[in-house]
Structure 1
């Protein structure tokens, strides 16, 4: 009887599971936006607001939608490699609802800070990727302990972003730093520990 059950399992075809709904939905949406939207529509609907406009309904939409727009395939693939590697593990640990909350708050806070401090728009999920990187270092946090991996990641991450600000490029190190700090903050808050 036992052998029949085991052999029955072996013969069943493998199923594809939508294992991380928030991360996978974000990834598919980002791919669709880059595939089907023109650069003009990307700039209009999928870039963060360049200035504060609380009376404009598109202001609120763009505070979130910009994370689904990307400047090109290399930009998107770079972000998705990080998000698809780290995100499903975090979605399993924190749950889909909490991870979605973290992503939305990261997007809104980063977009608002950018609108208040700079006159340029953000595009892409780089802030989300770096939020997930720093948040992942909290996966084994214990009371009264800060993981050494978190300290090393934080030093490497902040150091590389500060060094990158000296280069002239189209990459927003601000969104990377903001996402990273929000991820670190969420890690401390969601761990439920007091240091």
Structure 2
């Protein structure tokens, strides 16, 4: 009998986030004359600068969160989601979808606030979340006092690209992206991975399996029990290969 393959929505937070970003960019480029993202999905600039944060405008507070859904072009979007679609599902499996959603929201807010406080130009894009995921993914090996060289290369390349492109990019804040990495470090050290839940079937089978092993041991002849005990007490001091 052939097994049927099925497509699963394995990482709801990551996949939903990616779909929303694609839909927003499609609407912005092809239906709304490229006015949607600058109006809604861009974090305000520093207070007092052009396009700066207006504390009297309630909508500017929402833009502190929504800016991660907007991207300047398709290259910007694809560059971010090469990392997000790779690391996001792994982090959802490790920490749970609800916790990863909280991480996304907190990182968006922190990067938005930093942009409002320090940067004299608007901010958009999910690069802060990307850097948060990169740092968060590395914490699993830092527990063993090991830093993989591949991780160092990824961080160096990503930071190098940000620093090189920073003077050319009008709506990208390198400082805010580094803040996303700091958020990843904070989450990695403060948030514990989710524990694996034991299914009801495993809970019911475990006592039955234990009882069957006891009964099997009782039914064995005494000379077999003595032999097994002798084998357990034997200490191996060396091996000889011919």
The answer to whether the superposition gives a TM-score over 0.5 is yes
The runs of 4+ residues in structure 1 deviating greater than 6 Å are none
Larger gyration radius, structure 1 or structure 2: 2
Structure 2 distance, partners of 1:72, 1:89, is: 26
Aligned: 1:26 with 2:17:
yes
1:75 Cα deviation (Å)?
Answer: 0.5
Q: Distance in 2 between matches of 1:162 and 1:42?
A: 21
Cα contact 2:108–2:129 (8 A) shared by 1? yes
Kept in 2, the 8 Å contact 1:158–1:177? The answer is no
* TM superposition shift of 1:138: 1.2
Partners of 2:190 and 2:152 lie apart in 1 by: 20
In the other structure, the counterpart of 1:169 is 168
Deviation readout 1:117-155 (Å, 9 max, x if unpaired): 12211111011111101110012453xx44313983686
Unaligned stretches of 5+ in structure 2? 46-51, 194-242
TM-superposition CA deviations, 1:83-109 (whole Å, max 9, x none): 001110001101011101111000001
Residue 191 of structure 1, CA deviation: 4.2
Where do residues 63-142 of structure 1 align in structure 2 (5 Å cutoff)?
A: 63-142=64-143
Counterparts in 2 of 1:132 and 1:159: CA distance versus 1, 3 Å: closer
- C-alpha separation between the residues in 1 aligned to 2:155 and 2:127? 18
Are the equivalent residues in 1 in contact too, given 2:95–2:192 (CA < 8 A)? no
Higher relative contact order (CA 8 A, sep 6+): 1
Gaps of 5+ in 1: 1-6
- In structure 2, relative to structure 1, the CA distance for the partners of 1:17 and 1:117 (3 Å cut) is same
